[in-house]
Amino acid sequence: MTASIIDGKAIAGTVREQVRQAVVQMKEDYGYTPGLATVLVGEDPASSTYVRSKRKTCEELGIRSIGHELPATATQTQVEQLVASLNADPNVNGILVQLPLPKHLNEEAVLNSISLEKDVDGFHPVNIGRLAMKGRDPLFIPCTPYGCIVLLEESGIPIRGAEAVVVGRSNIVGLPVAMLLQKRDATVTICHSRTRDLAEHIRRADIVIAAIGRTEMITGDMLKPGAAVIDVGINQKPDPTAKRGYRLVGDVDFESAKEVAGAITPVPGGVGPMTITMLMKNTLRAAEIELAKRDR
């Protein structure tokens, strides 16, 4: 058996087109354009690349991109004052502070200073708290976990009643995606670096979310035949035949896993395209919240 490949690029493309059309409709109906502000502190090359990619996607979807760049020497007060000014700007719907911040800055304090209604990354403690509670919904869902769920749903993979194993317990992916699966009535096990007999846990799973950041750690012999595998990992594996001297691989050994799994995401081209896409969807939702406030 060879797994069907879950095409993250294609699914992201469908969602992006839905967002683009909704933005056009919002402009026609209300004369209003959603706006996403990005805050980049310092000149970290990877962070700069991520921010450029987000701004480019905004442009493609008709969303205004408002870029703010501060030097690496910026103080905590300067960063928080910038966030406060963006909180007060009704034309800014979402605020994205690119992480990591320089080490002298308190990331938690900066993120907590973002208005709940502009927290399009979905990491505000209130949003995470609502995600954890039965019968409550957050204003915004963290983008990568949100993308994982959409990949499963759009691929027709049943979540209700499924046994799901999440490998990794980070605040960014592991914990939020576990809560999202539970809200959809999956039975969820969270595994991590201290889990005993990890393979035995994974072997029971109908759905595996791999988000532990270890190169090709999960192999085909650890999977239940027919399982759905969502690989969040992005790791650099040395490859002298590649132009850059390495190639990108996930937390799952794709070649062995695809012979056992029922469906699997590739790396790259799986979860990656969904993260920025769900950020755009959250920004659209933030604009809808702003317009609803004006109608009250």
The count of other CB atoms within 10 Å of the CB of residue 77 is 8
Question: How far is the C-alpha of 126 from the C-alpha of 214, rounded, in Å?
Answer: 30
Active-site residue among 56, 76, 81, 98? 98
- State the catalytic residue, choosing from 119, 121, 206, 231: 121
- Output the CA–CA distances (angstroms, integers) from residue 147 to 42, 118, 217, 230, 273, in the order listed: 28, 19, 22, 10, 9
C-alpha–C-alpha distance, residues 87 and 94, integer Å: 9
Question: Is 295 one of the annotated active-site residues of the chain?
Answer: no
Judge whether 76 counts as a catalytic residue: no
Nearest to 92 by CA among 112, 113, 52, 120: 120
Active site residue 121: yes
Annotated catalytic residues are 54, 98, 121
